[in-house]
Chains A and B, each alone.
Chain A
Amino acid sequence: NAGVTQTPKFQVLKTGQSMTLQCAQDMNHEYMSWYRQDPGMGLRLIHYSVGAGITDQGEVPNGYNVSRSTTEDFPLRLLSAAPSQTSVYFCASSYQTGFRANVLTFGAGSRLTVL
Chain B
Amino acid sequence: AQSVTQLDSHVSVSEGTPVLLRCNYSSSYSPSLFWYVQHPNKGLQLLLKYTSAATLVKGINGFEAEFKKSETSFHLTKPSAHMSDAAEYFCVVSSPGGKLIFGQGTELSVKP
Question: Is B75 close to A, CB under 8 A?
Answer: no
Bound CA–CA A102/B95 (angstroms): 10
Q: Are B100 and A104 in touch, CB under 8 angstroms? A: yes
Interface centre among B29, B42, B44, B105 (most CB of A within 10 A): B44
Q: How large is the interface on A (under 10, 10 to 19, 20 to 34, 35 or more residues)?
A: 20 to 34
Question: Interface residue count for B (Cβ, 8 Å)?
Answer: 25
Question: Is A108 close to B, CB under 8 A?
Answer: yes
Set B29, B45, B100: member contacting A102, Cβ < 8 A: B100
Question: Is B77 close to A, CB under 8 A?
Answer: no
A residues less than 8 Å from B9 (CB atoms): 40
Nearest CB in chain B: distance from A72 CB, A: 18
Q: Which of A43-51, A60-68, A74-82 contacts B (4 or more CB under 8 A)?
A: A43-51
Q: Are B32 and A42 in touch, CB under 8 angstroms? A: no
Q: Are A98 and B44 in touch, CB under 8 angstroms? A: no
Q: How many pairs, one residue from A and one from B, have CB atoms within 8 Å of each other in the complex?
A: 60
A residues less than 8 Å from B109 (CB atoms): none
A residues less than 8 Å from B52 (CB atoms): 100
Contacts A40-B9, A42-B90, A43-B90; is A99 near B43 (CB within 8 Å)?
Answer: no
Q: Are A106 and B96 in touch, CB under 8 angstroms? A: no
Q: Are A42 and B45 in touch, CB under 8 angstroms? A: no
A residues less than 8 Å from B97 (CB atoms): 97, 99
Q: Are B102 and A103 in touch, CB under 8 angstroms? A: no
Q: Are A40 and B44 in touch, CB under 8 angstroms? A: no
B residues less than 8 Å from A4 (CB atoms): 43
0/1 per residue, B44-72, Cβ < 8 Å to A?
11100101100000000000000000000
Bound CA–CA A40/B37 (angstroms): 15
Set A43, A90, A98, A106: member contacting B98, Cβ < 8 A: A98
B residues less than 8 Å from A103 (CB atoms): 34, 46, 49
Bound CA–CA A42/B42 (angstroms): 14
Contacts A43-B90, A99-B97; is A106 near B104 (CB within 8 Å)?
Answer: no
A residues less than 8 Å from B45 (CB atoms): 106
Residues of B participating in the A interface, judged by any CB pair closer than 8 Å:
9, 29, 32, 34, 36, 41-46, 49, 51-52, 90, 94, 96-100, 102-105
